[in-house]
Amino acid sequence: MSAAAPGTSKAAHGEAGPKKKKGPGALATAYLVIYNVVMTAGWLVIAVGLVRAYLARGSYHGLYYSIEKPLKFVLWAAENSFFPYLTVFSVLSPNSGIVPSSVVLTGFQVMSRVFLTWAVTHSVREVQSEDSVLLFVTAWTITEIIRYSFYTFSLLNHLPYLIKWARYTFFIVLYPMGVTGELLTIYAALPYVQKTGLYSVTLPNKYNFSFDYYTFLILVMVSYIPLFPQLYFHMIRQRKKVLGHTEDYSKIE
Amino acid sequence: MKHYEVEILDAKTKDKLCFLDKVEPNATIGEIKSMFHKSHPQWYPARQSIRLDPKGKSLKDEDVLQQLPVGTTATFYFRDLGAQISWVTVFLTEYTGPLVIYLLFYFRVPFIYTPKYDFTTSKHWVVHLACMCHSFHYVKRLLETLFVHRFSHGTMPLRNIFKNCTYYWGFAAWMAYYINHPLYTPPIYGEQQIRLALIVFLFCQIGNFSIHIALRNLRPPGSKTRKIPYPTKNPFTWIFLLVSCPNYTYELGSWLGFTLMTQCLPVAFFTLVGFIQMTVWAKGKHRSYLKEFRDYPPLRSPILPFVL
């Protein structure tokens, strides 16, 4: 990836400044700790919101409304802190127990969650009462609480084994659970998108362009077929690397 | 004359792959690659990367053994670059696709549009003009590949052909679909817009061709020398005063012309993506010019005068 400064005539020979590889300073660590604490708290708010709404209503229909705002907040925070976060994070000490995950995969995950939340659930009111929404929100919530506390503790160099284990084990159930919820939600949105022509552009028009959101959603669903196994097996490989020893497998049973 | 001994180790496993004795001191890396190929027929020279250091840069085919920092027993490290395909093959394939695909849409071949439009032609003359321009552009590229360009590298990794063809063929189909659509809307400003667009397009096509000829003339046949390009008598090359890679500048101009001519958003997207990629290439090229030539003209920018 080229990081060259713009090629104005003033630019002398070569890039702007040497590239140094070093761990994060105290300031960067403080920023990262605060960021991860805030994110853990954000997802905890969602978890608490879900539980409270369930207890208040006695059923789990329509719990989306109770957590809509905190969910949008955590995704906004993830999107906007994502790049500076990862740039620093990727050079953390190797002894922290963190296996640096691929930038592309994590970025992709943030994007797909933003898509599910805004472009599907928020945009198609009729699916907001579907149980499938609860399914993926729950999966995301549990995953993210564990993941952000994992980062927080790692940064403070006090990572309880339980959190490490949970992070690299819960996904085995939570990923398929989340994917199922996501796919069912998109599927539920299809008839409404087709009926209303949501986000779609038809010919003729002066830009000579067309877009069929209905077809696009179907393609998104199809894309899960190659993409989900890659993400899933990536995590399984990470699990082997991080948890490694065979004694751990007997602890699970 | 002292002969050298050459041993070739795998860069990753450090296994001894090959031992050559009685190698001439003036043997080139290219010749050593051929000798290595004899003992390992599956690794033809184009897919061999030979280096002095397992993690170092590849040595060039022209490098001479006795001029390298090695003793009389030279140790080289080998890395397999994977299956290779020639640049010419890739270019011909990736450019023939758009030429053919666009014509399929232009002639409204069945299964693209509603059956009642099959094999009909558009009533807008700009659509015919666009087809001529698009076809001309790719025919020009094919002919340049066969007769003009002098490539520094013979080959590239095989997977590139799939990536490149997907890009060119995919975009060609996407653009052609709308331009040749029965519901196509011609440019708002009509004849004026189309005429201006055509002038821009033709000007940039000639410009781009002039640059390709100028670059070819810098390099004697069969050589891989690199020299600073300078303006020639041809006015279209005077842009070298301001830009390192004017072939990309003119290419951008051509596609801007085509976008204006067709007033089609997918064409604008294609132009934008192409511009981004060409900027990356231009910056890389500009940087290597600066590295290689101490006296490189300071006024030049990579792709857009003064700006980028």
Domains of chain A by residue range: 26-90+97-242
Number of neighbouring beta carbons within 10 Å of residue A118:
12
Mean pLDDT on A73-83: 79
Query: Which of the 8 DSSP states describes residue B227?
Result: -
The closest of B254, B180, B209, B294 to A208, measured between CA atoms, is: B180
The 3-state DSSP class for residue A147 equals: helix
The closest of B148, B139, B129, B122 to B201, measured between CA atoms, is: B129
Cα angle for residues A10, A16, A20 (degrees, 5° grid):
170
The answer to whether B9 and B78 are in contact (CB under 8 A) is: yes
CB contact under 8 A, B298 and A210: no
Cα B8 to Cα B52: distance, rounded to the nearest angstrom: 10
Query: Which of the 8 DSSP states describes residue B242?
Result: T
pLDDT digits (tens, 9 = 90+) for B243-300: 999 999 999 999 999 999 999 999 999 999 999 999 999 999 999 999 988 889 989 9
**What is the band of A98 on the pLDDT scale with cuts at 50, 70, 90?**
very low
Mean pLDDT on A2-26: 41
- Give this complex's ipTM: 0.80
Cα angle for residues B14, B19, B20 (degrees, 5° grid):
145
Q: Measure B285 CA to nearest chain A CA, in Å.
A: 11
Is pLDDT at A105 greater than 90 in this prediction?
no
Q: Which of A97-106, A191-200, B147-156, B286-295 has the lowest mean pLDDT?
A: A97-106
Most confident of A78-82, A86-90, B84-88: B84-88
CB contact under 8 A, A208 and B286: no
Is pLDDT at A250 greater than 70 in this prediction?
no
Mean pLDDT on A173-201: 95
Is pLDDT at A8 greater than 60 in this prediction?
no
CB contact under 8 A, A208 and B179: yes
The 3-state DSSP class for residue B50 equals: strand
Is pLDDT at B88 greater than 70 in this prediction?
yes
Architecture in CATH for domain B4-82: Roll (3.10)
Which of the pair, B294 or A61, is modelled with greater confidence?
B294
Query: How high is the pLDDT of residue B257?
Result: 97
The answer to whether A144 and A78 are in contact (CB under 8 A) is: no
Nearest to A4 among B283, B298, B301 (CB): B283
Nearest CA in chain A to B288: A14
**What is the band of B64 on the pLDDT scale with cuts at 50, 70, 90?**
confident
Domain boundaries defined on chain B: 4-82, 87-292
Average pLDDT score over chain B = 92
pLDDT digits (tens, 9 = 90+) for A223-244: 999 888 988 998 898 899 888 7
E strand or H helix that includes residue B6: strand B4-10
Residue from A202, A206, A208, A210 whose CB has the most chain B CBs within 10 Å, to mutate? A208
Average pLDDT score over chain A = 80
